[in-house]
Structures are given as C-alpha cells and as structure tokens.
Amino acid sequence: MRYPIIITPDERLRRQAKPVKVITDELVQLLDDLYETMVAHDGIGIAAPQVGKNLQVAIVEVEEDDRFEMINPEIIASSGESLDVEGCLSIPHTFGTVKRADEITVRYFDREGEEMEVEAFGYLARAMQHEIDHLNGVLFVDKLVERIPEEDLEKYMEEHEND
Ligand SMILES: [Zn+2]
C-alpha cells in the first residue's frame, strides 16, 4: 500500500516518535509500505512520521538495492563534518545545504529483530542522519546553512561534484 506523504507544516512531523516494542506483522507491513511509498516518490529515505505513524522506523536506500530498514535507530558514534545539499519528501521544492557528520555508526533492529550495527560514510551517513532527525521531530530546514533555489540545483551539483 502506498501512503500519502505528510507535508509541512504539520504537527505530526514534529513529534518525538515512539520506540517499537515488538516487531509484529503489522510493523513488517509498514516497512514494505514505507518502502513502496518512498520509491513511488523517488525518495532515498523515508521515516514513519512522514506517513503519520509515530514510530521509530526509517528506511534509507541511497544506492540501488542497498536498503537499510532501521527500527529504533540510534547514532552511537559520529565523526568528521560535511556540507551537502538535501531535500525532503515532506518539504516539496525546498533544497539547501546542511552540515552533518561525515561518518556515523548506527545501531538499530532489522525486521527480523536482529540488532545491527552499521558504519556509514558520505551521502549514506547523511541520509541516515536526516531520517533519524525525523524520528525526533527535526526537519532539515531547521539546520539549513544555505537555501538553494530549485532552478539552481543542477548548477550547484555540477559545481560541487568533486567536493
Ligand atoms: Zn525528510
């Protein structure tokens, strides 16, 4: 099932999401539906609050077929710093640079209930931080360094290709 995406401003994007206590069939279904919704919107990440589910569940897929389904994710280590452009399915036509850690270690549970620990770098680390922020009611525009007008996006990407 494909969910409609909640768009700002909406209080449901500003809540502290609740930890998942038990992985039920319903939760596994939510993961599938979140993924379907993300792909339908050409997203590289999605968090449950964006579809009105107040749960600590997020998905990131920066590279095709490299999907991270994170239940109760927690950043347990971070280092470095990087500045890059972000957007958000919940904030259409808005883009801008955000400063993030360049390298993080995330601990979470997968759909099997297995505890995972993943080290992520670069844009994957960025996407994970963006989605985990959603679970704390934080949006990328809260951390915006510089807004990039949509029509300048391509130009910006070309200029910063090798950063
Ligand atoms: Zn977002």
pLDDT in tens, 89-143: 999 999 999 999 999 999 999 999 999 999 999 999 999 999 999 999 999 999 9
What single-letter amino acid sits at 98?
V
- Binding residue per annotation — 130? yes
Residues 6+ apart with CB under 8 A from 86: 95, 96, 97, 98, 126, 130, 140
Q: Is 131 a catalytic residue?
A: yes
Contacts of 47 (CB under 8 A, 6+ apart): 17, 57, 58, 59, 131, 132, 134, 135
Judge whether 41 is annotated as a binding position.
no
Q: Is 88 annotated as a binding residue?
A: yes
Strand partners, 83: 99
The predicted structure's pLDDT at residue 163? 65
Q: What is the DSSP string of 141-153?
A: GGGEEEEE-GGGH
How big is the chain by its Cα radius of gyration, in Å? 15
Residues 37-52 pLDDT 10s: 999 999 999 999 999 9
Percent residues over pLDDT 70 in the chain: 99
CA 121 – ligand 1 centroid, Å: 18
Residue type, 9: P
In CATH, 11-159 is 3.90.45.10: yes
> Which one of the listed residues 61, 69, 86, 131 is annotated catalytic?
131
Average pLDDT, the chain: 96
**Residues surrounding ion ligand 1 at CB below 5 Å:** 88
